[in-house]
A and B are shown apart, each in its own frame.
Chain A
């Protein structure tokens, strides 16, 4: 069964600090991996997308990495802001391209 596992489940950091979120997946065959941000009560919003040939992708203060050999990805957030408080979800797509496999997310809380 295709699975996407994320760690940690939750994280609390001080404003201005950096953090790294992890994602391991077993989805095969693999098409692409996305990181989404989901604010409470809202729908997920795409942050980055990577295919198997890409090993890093940046979007402002967000940098995602991908190791397709070990089936691991990470999302690094630099200089965190209060508005970064949200759930960060790792999403892996198989060959269909549309049936996305979602992790449960890492709940990040940035405190003053």
Chain B
């Protein structure tokens, strides 16, 4: 049973470009969570999705950021018109049910030049 997969592992973008981060949850997990880790900081909750639905996006910036978890395919975190402050590690986690242990992917490290 493969763990949570994220790609790409590293992503370099210039200011103003778009970044797309992908997350494939563990098999059988329908709950997906995205977290952001800024340098020297702890992980911060961004958004919680269940298949085709956004349950809680209270931690996600209202502008430029969006997330989806379609019926088929991976969850996508999309950042439009990236700025240098978006440079961070973005982690995805999944769980079989809400409240159960979240299993984390290896993260995508975004660098905005």
Contacts and interface: CB of A to CB of B under 8 A. Distances in A.
Interface in A68-112: 89, 93, 96-105
Contacts of A34: 101
Interface string A10-33: 000000000000000000000100
B99 A99 contact: no
A42 to B, nearest CB: 5
Interface residues of B, number: 26
Interface residues of A, number: 23
A27 to B, nearest CB: 12
A42 B43 contact: no
Contacts of A104: 40-42
Interface of A: 4, 31, 34, 36, 41-46, 49, 89, 93, 96-105
